[in-house]
Amino acid sequence: MENKEKESKDQLPMRSLLILYSYHHHNTEKIAKVFARVLDAEIKWPNEINPEELQEYDLIGFGSGIYSAKHDQSLLEFADGLLEVHNKKAFLFSTAGITGKSKAAKDHATLMEKLESKGYMIVDEFQCKGFNTNSFLRLFGGINKGRPNVDDLKNAENFAWKVKKNTIAQD
Ligand SMILES: Cc1cc2nc3c(=O)[nH]c(=O)nc-3n(C[C@H](O)[C@H](O)[C@H](O)COP(=O)(O)O)c2cc1C
């Protein structure tokens, strides 16, 4: 089914928000923009939103590049300052130099723990490779040149549709 058709069929009243930090090559921002389109979500950086404002949203995606095996410090600190909620739906996303199922779970663990301790329910997680020229890698042109690529963006789109569909179905 075409995405447009899906959207009109679903008739979504839900409000979604993406909280993003992305600086190295704006890799994670590319993913966030795809999510924003599918979820009809606003993108805010941690310094652009107050914790109280999250009350207005039904689904919140938290994402950044992975730096030293974690989400960015600004996102972790933002999570520390959140108000307690009851099972508010959230998902995590990131881009990273090295990826893999267990790698994503490890990279996301710190933020997940913080959000769960505030009462968030993490419904899903997305990670893909991102161009990385950190440190000595820049000496030989970096790794993952061109990532996220079209396939990554397509996967991101499919992920967002799945999260959207599941969120509606559970409401
Ligand atoms: C300071 C720094 C630390 C990084 N640490 C890691 C890491 O621990 N694990 C990893 O897989 N990638 C690491 N990376 C690669 C980034 O996660 C990757 O390039 C990501 O796509 C950057 O996202 P951004 O462009 O949205 O900032 C690091 C990059 C930088 C600049």
Residue 35's contacts (CB-CB under 8 Å, 6 or more residues apart) are 18, 41, 61, 93, 156, 159, 160
The predicted-structure confidence for 68-114, as pLDDT tens digits, reads as follows 999 999 999 999 999 999 999 999 999 999 998 899 999 999 999 99
Enumerate the β-bridge partners of residue 61: 18, 91
Q: Kindly report the protein residue whose alpha carbon is nearest to atom 6 of ligand 1.
A: 67
Kindly report the backbone phi and psi dihedral angles of residue 99, in degrees, each rounded to the nearest multiple of 5, phi listed first: -130, 175
Please give the Cα distance from 22 to 133 (Å, whole number): 14
User: What is the predicted pLDDT for the residue at 11?
Assistant: 57
Length of the chain: 171
CA of 97 to the centre of ligand 1 (A): 6
Q: Spelled out in words, what is the top-level CATH class assigned to the domain 13-170?
A: alpha beta
Q: Collapsing DSSP states into helix, strand and coil, what is residue 29?
A: helix
User: What is the predicted pLDDT for the residue at 5?
Assistant: 47
Atom of ligand 1 nearest to the CA of 72: 27
Is the whole model's pTM more than 0.85, yes or no? yes
Decide: 148 in ligand 1 pocket, CB within 6 A: no
CA of 7 to the centre of ligand 1 (A): 34
Atom of ligand 1 nearest to the CA of 25: 25
- Report whether 54 contacts 82 (CB < 8 A): yes
Residue 155's contacts (CB-CB under 8 Å, 6 or more residues apart) are 126, 128
User: What is the predicted pLDDT for the residue at 101?
Assistant: 80
Decide: 63 in ligand 1 pocket, CB within 6 A: no
Atom of ligand 1 nearest to the CA of 95: 21
